[in-house]
Amino acid sequence: MSHSKGRLFVISGPSGTGKGTICREILKDIRNEFSVSMTTREPREGEEHGREYFFVSHEEFIENINRNNFLEYATVFDNYYGTPKDIVLKKLEKGRNVILDIDVQGGLQVKEAMPEAVLIFLLPPSLAALRSRLENRGTETPEKIEKRLNKALDEIKFIGEYDYMVVNDVREDAVSDVRSIMTAEALRVPEKVLPIIRRYEQEQKGE
């Protein structure tokens, strides 16, 4: 990836770990943009079409799969979720960092398609903490909470495929950890180092 392009960051982790809150903090920096996913799930109270998700019908989602419009897609909790490819590529081209809040199945697909993507795994301090966060959120039935807790363990098993892990115990600390990862990635030596060397050579020659 050339230096002028933005970077792609995937944030995964069990539902209820606080990915949404952390992403909102990270997105206060105008260099970072969120990738709005498409989903077949029903909007929750307060969610807006085009802001949290593009809420579409099952048919529309399948149509987008057939047109190869997704960078990745997966079935999560009986619904389809997918990352619209063109929107992400355009944002990267404009030099923006793009943040994907997607599940592990999606994260692994992104790594396959774009190996330069940076994968961050957000962990809850414990399963008990995760359960109480899901209960306090009050958006899910007890049955759905059990489903999400089971999926949490399934997801954590894939942590070895990720580049970084952040434990979300104290929110401010987790946000600062994610920011540090983004800064470190921005400071990586780029693949093409010649322009950097040239710049110093020219300076030495007084050009």
Residues engaged in binding ligand 5GP (CB under 6 A): 15, 19, 37, 41, 72, 74, 76, 81-83, 101-103, 105-106
Q: What do you get for the CA distance between the two ends of the chain, in Å?
A: 29
Other CB atoms within a 10 A radius of the CB of residue 97 amount to 21
Q: How far is the CB of 38 from ligand 5GP (least distance, A)?
A: 7
Q: How far is the CB of 53 from ligand 5GP (least distance, A)?
A: 7
Q: How far is the CB of 17 from ligand 5GP (least distance, A)?
A: 9
> Which one, 146 or 201, has the nearer CB to ligand 5GP?
146
In angstroms, the CA 136 to CA 143 distance is 15
The Cα angle at residue 49 between residues 34 and 87, in degrees rounded to 5:
40
> Which one, 152 or 181, has the nearer CB to ligand 5GP?
152
Q: How far is the CB of 150 from ligand 5GP (least distance, A)?
A: 13
SS3 of residue 75 by DSSP: strand
Q: How far is the CB of 101 from ligand 5GP (least distance, A)?
A: 5
> Which one, 69 or 105, has the nearer CB to ligand 5GP?
105
Q: How far is the CB of 122 from ligand 5GP (least distance, A)?
A: 10
DSSP conformation letters of 112-135:
HH-TT-EEEEEE-S-HHHHHHHHH
> Which one, 50 or 206, has the nearer CB to ligand 5GP?
50
Q: Which residue is nearest to ligand 5GP (CB)?
A: 106
> Which one, 86 or 201, has the nearer CB to ligand 5GP?
86
> Which one, 15 or 184, has the nearer CB to ligand 5GP?
15
What's the distance, CA 112 to chain centroid? 15
**Which residue, 25, 33, 28, 29, is CA-closest to 5?**
33
Token code pair at residue 153: 């363990």
Residue 68 backbone zone (phi > 0: left; psi -120 to 50: alpha; other: beta):
left
Helix axes 127-137, 142-156, angle to 10 degrees: 140
